[in-house]
Amino acid sequence: MKRGKLEFTSHTANLALMRNFVRKFLSRHPFSEKQRTLMVLGVDEACTNVIRYAYDLRDDQPIALSVEALSTCVRMRLRDYGESTPADQMRGRAHNQVKPGGLGLHLIRNAFDKVDYILKPRGTELVLTKNLD
């Protein structure tokens, strides 16, 4: 699959469907199992953040995930239509703080080579890029 798109609602039960979609897409590309797992977890974390923050835990809101394989990378675009948070205000907690939560952004940035937040008039598009080695 060179390109694909999955549209689903913000119900957490749909996250398993999304993870399977991403896994299947990544299985066709020369990443290690660890890299694939980190990318799946990164997209899962991004979707969870959309549900939690952009949609305030509403479970009936639209989310679209598109994936594409380019000659030098794979790119995933996660689109929501909820409350936007400017990228400079998105901060994970310090690594040395021992408490639950706050490490999702670190995980996303570790899993992908480039992470871009594009604020739209309604919602946000998160663009995740992983280079092919």
DSSP readout, 83-98?
A: ----GGG--PPPTT--
Per-residue pLDDT of 11-38, as tens digits, reads 999 999 999 999 999 999 999 999 999 9
Torsion sign (Cα): 8, 131, 34, 102: negative
Regions of the chain with pLDDT less than 70 = 1, 86-103
Domains delineated in the chain: 3-131 (3.30.565.10)
Residue located via tokens 């996250």 = 15
